[in-house]
């Protein structure tokens, strides 16, 4: 809980922006997840405390949205687009290569904890298909060689 308590001043600022407390649910979950690494029961209780939303309700919200994680991601998180334009431009081959290289499937973290992989629906950067996000940053026109270079630079 100590970790979360350090976020209290920020939580107060967020709450001040909204007309109703419960509207702060999503931003508070983002804030806490960024700090803790995932949404733990403690995070849910902390959000519940600030928003006056019952914990079960907070939990429903957590489960509804794909960006909230129950388990920690890798040090770097990849979202790999698997929708129409990316498939047209050869995403399947590059994704297959990436999985083999990292030896992981969708939703998993690499053995060294460095990278986690999430297959995503259109990330709305189809002009650079096939594309992925690493820690939110866009990488497009992917090839196997480009994937090698990107992964190499990750610490």
Partner 1 sequence: MTEPILSRNFNVPNAWKLSVAGPRGAYETARKVLLAMKPEEIVQTVTASNLRGLGGAGFPTGKKWQFLPKDNPKPVYLVVNADEGEPGTFKDRYILERDPHQLIEGIVLSAFAIRSHKAYIYIRGEYVEPYQNLKAALDEAYAENFLGKNIFGSGWDLDLVVHRGAGAYICGEETALLNSLEGGKGFPRLKPPFPAIVGLFGCPTIINNVETLACVPHILKNGAEWFANLGSPGNGGTHLFSVSGHVKKPGVYELPMGTPLRQMIYTHAGGIRNDRALKAVIPGGISAKILTAGEIDVKMDYDGLKAAGTMLGSAGVMVMDETTCMVKMLLVAAKFFAHESCGQCSPCREGTGWAYKVVQRIYSGEGDLRDLDTLLKVARNMEGRTICVFADAAAWPIQSYITKFRKEFENYILNHKKAGAVHG
Note whether 126 binds ligand FES by CB under 6 A: yes
Note whether 134 binds ligand FES by CB under 6 A: no
| Distance separating alpha carbons of residues 64 and 36, to the nearest angstrom | 19
Question: Is 18 in a helix, a strand, or coil?
Answer: coil
Q: β-strands 115-120, 137-139: how paired?
A: unpaired
Angle (CA) 45-49-50 rounded to 5° is: 125
Note whether 84 binds ligand FES by CB under 6 A: yes
> Under a CB-based contact definition with an 8 Å cutoff, are residues 131 and 142 in contact?
yes
Among the listed residues 72, 85, 119, 151, the single contact to ligand FES using CB under 6 A? 85
Angle (CA) 3-77-23 rounded to 5° is: 55
Residues in 39-58 at the binding interface with ligand FES, rule: CB under 6 A: none
Note whether 94 binds ligand FES by CB under 6 A: no
Nearer to ligand FES, 25 or 133 (CB): 133
**Least distance in Å: CB of 68 to partner 1?**
6
Pick what 48 binds: partner 1, ligand FES, none; C-beta below 5 to 8 Å, kind-dependent: none
Which positions lie near ligand FES, rule CB under 6 A?
81, 83-86, 122-126, 129, 131
């Amino acid at each position: 809980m100590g970790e979360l308590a350090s976020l209290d001043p920020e939580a107060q600022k967020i709450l001040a922006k909204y007309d109703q407390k419960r509207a702060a649910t999503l931003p508070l979950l983002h804030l806490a997840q960024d700090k803790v690494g995932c949404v733990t029961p403690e995070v849910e209780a902390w959000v519940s405390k600030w928003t006056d939303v019952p914990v079960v309700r907070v939990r429903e919200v957590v489960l509804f949205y794909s960006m909230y994680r129950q388990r920690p991601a890798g040090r770097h998180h990849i979202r790999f687009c698997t929708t129409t334009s990316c498939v047209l431009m050869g995403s399947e081959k590059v994704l297959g290569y990436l999985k083999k290289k990292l030896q992981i499937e969708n939703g998993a973290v690499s053995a060294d904890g460095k990278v986690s992989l999430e297959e995503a629906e259109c990330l709305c950067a189809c002009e650079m298909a096939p594309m992925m996000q690493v820690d939110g940053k866009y990488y497009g026109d992917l090839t196997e060689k480009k994937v090698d270079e990107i992964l190499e630079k990750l610490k």
